[in-house]
Structure 1
Amino acid sequence: MSMSPLKQAIRKIQSEQRKWAAVGQQTPKQVNRWFKWLSPGLLVKRWLLISATGLILTLFGLAIFFKLTPVYRFLEWTSELLETLTTYLPNYISGPAAILLGLFLLLWGQSRTVGSITEALHPEGDQELIDRLLDHRRRNRGPKIVAIGGGTGLSTLLRGLKQYSSNMTAIVTVADDGGSSGRLRREIGVLPPGDIRNCVAALADEEKLLTELFQYRFQAGDGLTGHSFGNLFLTALTDITGDLEQAIAASSKVLAVRGKVLPATLSDVRLWAELSDGRFIEGESHITEARGKIERIGCIPANPTALPAAITAIKDADYIIIGPGSLYTSIIPNLLVPEIREALVKAKVPRIYVCNIMTEVGETDGYTVSDHLKAIDRVCGQRLFDAVLVQRKPPSPYALKRYAKENCHPVFPDREEVANLGCRLVFANVMDEDPTTGKVRHHPQKLARVLLRWYSKQ
């Protein structure tokens, strides 16, 4: 029995593949890049097909309009040409060859066109446009994440999460009264922009120079020393636009921010704390300086109004993350806003708390993981979290000695107490330790990977 043309073609292809494998050749990188354009969900294949169809119809239309060649004559000529070709080359060779040549020319032309556009729009980029499009699509399909906190902890978290989702909302405390933010707050009467500036810079879309400019801190100048450019920029925009929310939106456009950054409230909030020795301390920066054990914490005014956009973000969220950050001066101030507190309690989505790696002097001296959770639950009036993320591996002996001099120690994960609070412990290595200084921080990428992995299992 003679072999069918299809089987002959298949065997011919398999034979060629074996030859390529024998000499150790691989698919050229350029070809791989072309085929990326056919990845599912990129919304490119349909446009390629429409372009090709449009080209064919245009050519036919021109031929008919100018009466250069009647359509039937053209079809006759095409039929004769194909018949002649198949006389010398079998159809199972000439057919696939013509298809491959056509697809090659079509993809080559499209990729060269896109390459020219990429060069014009992103001349110094080290990433192909197709890879940027794939990343963009993937991030746009990411979960709606709400991250709540302040200080450097929240900006560290956002720096890692922005690689996985563009549907993020950072809700930031505005209780800061120290440093550049405190000076602007006292002298001009604006809400403190420091923590918000850090979050906006962390979410910036690889605009390195603009981000460095936003974080630049003046080292000299009468009245400028200690101020960051971003703080001054946000202060000026607040005056121009009328409020901090609009100022953040405008600066986010300049920095091509992924997601949103929102203040927890637009009220002028001042923290107060009652210490175990009876002292009553006002001001976020003064609370940590007092070096006492915090018994109660609150704010003035007592019930600040939440930003409506922040409440909407919590209600629409797929995933809520709180922390890392200073417990009493970065995390809890957001929960002192009643509407935010109530929205978090009512949320039916996964909620996780990222616990600090080390205790903090003047805030959490001697605190365990359950002590952190109890402090938050006291403010909220009931259990808030489904799980708490804790660093698994302790810092190096060098780092431990460095922190011990400051009376700081690793936060102990007391499993039984945490379980009694109805909360799950999630252990993971998410620490980043500076070998020179011994400073311990959360690693943005490691932290984000663990948090997204836990979310995917819920």
Structure 2
Amino acid sequence: MRLVTKRPRDRSKLKSSPRQLRQWSKWLLPGLLVKRWMVLSMVGVLLASLGIAISINLTPVFFTLQLVEQLIQQLARFIPSYISGPLVLGIGLWLLWWGQARTLGSITEVLLPDGDKELLDRLLTHRRLGRGPKIVTVGGGTGLSTLLRGLKSYSSNITAVVTMADDGGSSGRLRREIGVLPPGDIRNCLAALADEEKLITELFQYRFQAGDGLVGHSFGNLFLTAMSEVTGDLERAIAASSHVLAIRGQVLPATLTDVTLWAELADGRRIIGESQITEAGGEIVDIGCIPPNPVALPRALEAIEAADYIILGPGSLFTSIIPNLLVPDIATAIAHRTCPCIYVCNIMTQPGETNGYTVSDHVRALDDVYGIRLFDAVLVQKQPPSLASLARYAQHGSQPVIVDRDNLSELKCRVILADIMDENPQTQSIRHDSQKLAHILLRWYSRIRSL
């Protein structure tokens, strides 16, 4: 007796069918700008057929209609019209859909080897982010790139206005040796907004460990410097780099003027140079730049005027945020805005720059730059860091930025408390959390907009 065994089902195929159905159903979602062109192509086929018939004096149309009528009559004898009609319609639509899908698949196979799924997801993401608010961020350093990393999940209409006062490290060397504007903060923002963020960040942050004149330079700085030489200036270099890296949004320098920061300390010293201010370790009582009134980049002003939302910070108060406001037209454009503006305060004080500063001290420092309040509210970390992290930071002279409610009340400053911190338990490092920060900022914006 022959034993017949059942062949086991391919469970992967059974599981993939519902998944494929859900994936294909995404094509029915509105806003892809695909279905309308498929319908338009159907109309084109019908009109083309009609045009051919008219051009040959309608003779085939008459006989064709007669033939179709006879076929329909014969078909109706065997299959009722309420069954044959939908059946023929379904076959026709299926053939049309199959032809369009195969055409789209052939294009996708060349442009996106990963397949139709990636293309569809990219279309959905592109349409969703394209409808996001026009957000302008103002700042510099690692704080701004951290913010951009989270914001790009909510909108592709992002403009990062970046300070041009950096004169330390690789940027400072290139500035002194070649005469280019400092590319460091621009590099960080471009990497943060890139689609392939992790790879681009690793590439741009890579620092050469050997080579005559290369040691200490980051690849990203050299890349932007070379692009500046090729395109003619930093603005065009950034635009070309943005295209190459496929970033979401745009990065703009606050000014193309060669700016040098200066600061007056409480002990009477006058420190010149952004990198020297922090190293001086004194209390900053006044800050400015040389030349005193740098010209703002016109595109940066246009972005601020068209913005739906403006965010100041996070970042070093005196060396990343305030330098942008020392460009008079930038500060004026923010002051005359017609949209919400919020300031993201640092979680910890910065040694040599904001020693012992409270939230109200940060607010006063920003108010003093332009003479009036430039933002509607300040966002502050709600819960303090762990004791282990506080002990580690205390060794370097850094403490949490205290929320002094009484002073803030006197300043009539609105405070938003939220959990926006990323604390690494292994290294006890404290940073803003990109996703938490972006979520809170967009939630506040939605609430303000609905009022």
Q: TM-score, normalised by structure 1?
A: 0.88
Contact conserved, 1:155 with 1:202, CA < 8 A, in 2?
yes
Contact conserved, 2:108 with 2:116, CA < 8 A, in 1?
no
TM-aligned CA distance change 1:382 to 1:127, over 3 Å: farther
Residue 169 of structure 1, CA deviation: 1.2
Aligned positions of 1:317-336 closer than 5 A: 317-336=307-326
Aligned positions of 1:156-305 closer than 5 A: 156-206=146-196, 209-305=199-295
Distance, in Å, in 2 between the alignment partners of 1:140 and 1:106 is: 30
Aligned positions of 1:101-112 closer than 5 A: 101-112=91-102
Contact conserved, 2:112 with 2:118, CA < 8 A, in 1?
no
Q: Which runs of 5+ in 2 are unaligned?
A: 1-13
Please point out which of 48, 58, 71 is paired with 1:81: 71
Q: Does 1:378 align with 2:358?
A: no
Distance, in Å, in 1 between the alignment partners of 2:433 and 2:155 is: 18
Please point out which of 36, 55, 78 is paired with 2:45: 55
Measured against aligned partners, the alpha-carbon deviations of 1:328-387 in whole angstroms (never above 9, x if no partner) come to: 110001111111111111112100111111111111122111211111011110111111
The code of the aligned residue for 1:49 comes to V
- Where does residue 441 of structure 1 map in the other structure? 431
Residue 241 of structure 1, CA deviation: 2.6
Contact conserved, 1:34 with 1:108, CA < 8 A, in 2?
no
SS at match of 1:297: strand
SS at match of 1:28: helix
Q: Does 1:135 align with 2:132?
A: no
Residue 125 of structure 1, CA deviation: 7.0
- Where does residue 361 of structure 1 map in the other structure? 351
Q: Does 1:39 align with 2:11?
A: no
- Where does residue 403 of structure 2 map in the other structure? 413
Residue 240 of structure 1, CA deviation: 2.9
Distance, in Å, in 2 between the alignment partners of 1:274 and 1:449 is: 38
Distance, in Å, in 2 between the alignment partners of 1:55 and 1:322 is: 54
Measured against aligned partners, the alpha-carbon deviations of 1:302-327 in whole angstroms (never above 9, x if no partner) come to: 11111111111111111101100000
Distance, in Å, in 1 between the alignment partners of 2:379 and 2:366 is: 15
SS at match of 1:306: coil
Distance, in Å, in 2 between the alignment partners of 1:72 and 1:48 is: 29
TM-aligned CA distance change 1:25 to 1:245, over 3 Å: closer
Contact conserved, 1:176 with 1:285, CA < 8 A, in 2?
yes
Aligned positions of 1:89-128 closer than 5 A: 89-124=79-114, 128=118
Measured against aligned partners, the alpha-carbon deviations of 1:188-215 in whole angstroms (never above 9, x if no partner) come to: 1211110111111111232665554333
The code of the aligned residue for 1:97 comes to L
The code of the aligned residue for 1:447 comes to L
Contact conserved, 2:283 with 2:353, CA < 8 A, in 1?
yes
- Where does residue 12 of structure 1 map in the other structure? none
Measured against aligned partners, the alpha-carbon deviations of 1:210-259 in whole angstroms (never above 9, x if no partner) come to: 55433321111111011011111222222333321112112112212222
Identity fraction in percent: 66
Distance, in Å, in 1 between the alignment partners of 2:91 and 2:373 is: 65
- Where does residue 385 of structure 2 map in the other structure? 395
Contact conserved, 1:64 with 1:70, CA < 8 A, in 2?
no
Contact conserved, 1:150 with 1:331, CA < 8 A, in 2?
yes
Distance, in Å, in 2 between the alignment partners of 1:128 and 1:240 is: 34
Residue 270 of structure 1, CA deviation: 1.1
TM-aligned CA distance change 1:33 to 1:74, over 3 Å: farther
The code of the aligned residue for 2:174 comes to L
TM-aligned CA distance change 1:314 to 1:124, over 3 Å: same
Contact conserved, 2:188 with 2:201, CA < 8 A, in 1?
no
Task: Give the number of equivalent residue pairs.
Answer: 435
Contact conserved, 2:342 with 2:377, CA < 8 A, in 1?
yes
TM-aligned CA distance change 1:55 to 1:32, over 3 Å: farther
RMSD of equivalent CA atoms: 2.4
Distance, in Å, in 1 between the alignment partners of 2:407 and 2:356 is: 15
The code of the aligned residue for 1:30 comes to Q
Distance, in Å, in 1 between the alignment partners of 2:390 and 2:280 is: 24
Contact conserved, 1:276 with 1:294, CA < 8 A, in 2?
yes
Distance, in Å, in 1 between the alignment partners of 2:401 and 2:91 is: 64
The code of the aligned residue for 1:324 comes to P
